[in-house]
Amino acid sequence: MDATPRPARLAVGVISAGRVGSVLGAALSRAGHVVSAVSAVSRDSLRRAEELLPDVPVLSPPEVAASADLVLLAVPDDELPGLVRGLVATGSLRAGQIVVHTSGAQGVAVLRPAAELGALCLALHPVMTFTGRVEDVQRVNACSVGVTAADDDEIAWHVGEALVVEMSAEPVRVPEAARPLYHAALAHGANHLITLVADCADLLRGAGIHDAERMLGPLLSAALDNALRHGDRALTGPVARGDAGTVAKHLAVLADTESLPAYRILALRTAARAQAAGLLKPELASEVRTTLEGQA
């Protein structure tokens, strides 16, 4: 039997109805909690609030916080410290509340003003990209959530994990000190993957391929699956084979494109990883590196 403590049914205040806040508010509502109020200003956030949190009152951030047992702060990273200080200054937070933020880069130190009031403070970061639409609520089921609490507050850790489990996601403990590296890894993978795919599609269109995304879909899906399953053993292509001649041709055709610097850097990393994994002989790796570094 799962002995993890379950939070009681909570009144949840969502600040604000961005892509993450609206989705997590809906996921908490689906889990049986009650969203008591939400803040929303822009046209898009008001639309998300209406679509994902129907009939929930739209109030100012201090009013949202004051109405809630669980205050969900889903604002951009740079806005978070000022928001927390402002809610404390207006008396909107109180002892006994659960105060949660969704920033990946921040741990619980940013919530210290609330903790000093006696609030239980958590960082819950869903490892997922959201659009702020209804289908995103189902995506929560498949994602991990980075949970951070004060190192010595085991009750807070358990409450955070229980909230994540209630949303049908998977909690993963991320210590405060590891939070910046954790977030850098996720941003490097997810954000730069989108840039890489978009650049590849642009290059294919330059080669006369009209439906570039359709061509890339099966290939990149298989590459991602293989990478997650097999790591460096999944490496293929001219760099991993040590085919310096083909690499030279790639550099030549990419010479007048903005993709050249990224290709060069990623190819060098690929060569290093392939050699370290025993896939690429040292002498071939040296040829590839000379080709990549020599055609600047």
- Amino acid identity at 132: G
Helix, strand or coil, per DSSP, at residue 143: coil
Residue ranges of alpha helices (H) inside 72-211 are 80-89, 112-117, 135-139, 154-166, 179-206
What was the pLDDT predicted at 1? 47
* The pair of three-digit structure tokens given for residue 73, joined into one six-digit string: 């702060």
Q: How far apart are CA 38 and CA 62, in angstroms?
A: 10
* The pair of three-digit structure tokens given for residue 267, joined into one six-digit string: 């190819």
Nearest to 114 by CA among 90, 141, 85: 85
Threshold 0.95, pTM exceeds: no
pLDDT in tens, 62-94: 999 999 999 999 999 999 999 999 999 999 999
Torsion sign over Cα 283, 287, 288, 294:
positive
Q: Is the peptide bond before 103 cis (omega within 30 degrees of 0)?
A: no
- Amino acid identity at 171: P
* Burial category of 211 from C-beta neighbours within 10 Å (exposed 0-12, middle 13-18, buried 19 and up): exposed
Give the angle subtended at the CA of 46 by the CAs of 45 and 48, to the nearest 5°: 65
Q: How far apart are CA 164 and CA 14, in angstroms?
A: 16
The DSSP secondary-structure symbol of 5 reads: P
Whether residue 5 is predicted with pLDDT greater than 60 in this model: the reply is no
Domain spans in the chain, listed from the N-terminal domain onward: 11-174, 182-294
pLDDT, greater one: 290 or 6 = 290
pLDDT in tens, 125-164: 999 989 888 999 999 998 999 999 999 999 999 999 999 9
Helix, strand, coil share of the chain (percent; to 5) = 55, 10, 30
Q: How far apart are CA 83 and CA 110, in angstroms?
A: 10
Residue 6 — pLDDT band, cuts 50, 70, 90? low
Helix (H) and strand (E) counts in the chain:
13, 7
User: What's the chain's Rg over C-alpha atoms?
Assistant: 23
Q: How far apart are CA 76 and CA 39, in angstroms?
A: 14
CA–CA distances in Å: residue 176 to residues 16, 167, 253? 24, 23, 46
Q: Say if domain 11-174 classifies as CATH 3.20.20.70.
A: no
Whether residue 11 is predicted with pLDDT greater than 70 in this model: the reply is yes
Whether residue 107 is predicted with pLDDT greater than 50 in this model: the reply is yes
Within a 13 Å sphere around the CA of 212, how many CA atoms are in the beta-carbon half? 13
Q: How far apart are CA 160 and CA 134, in angstroms?
A: 24
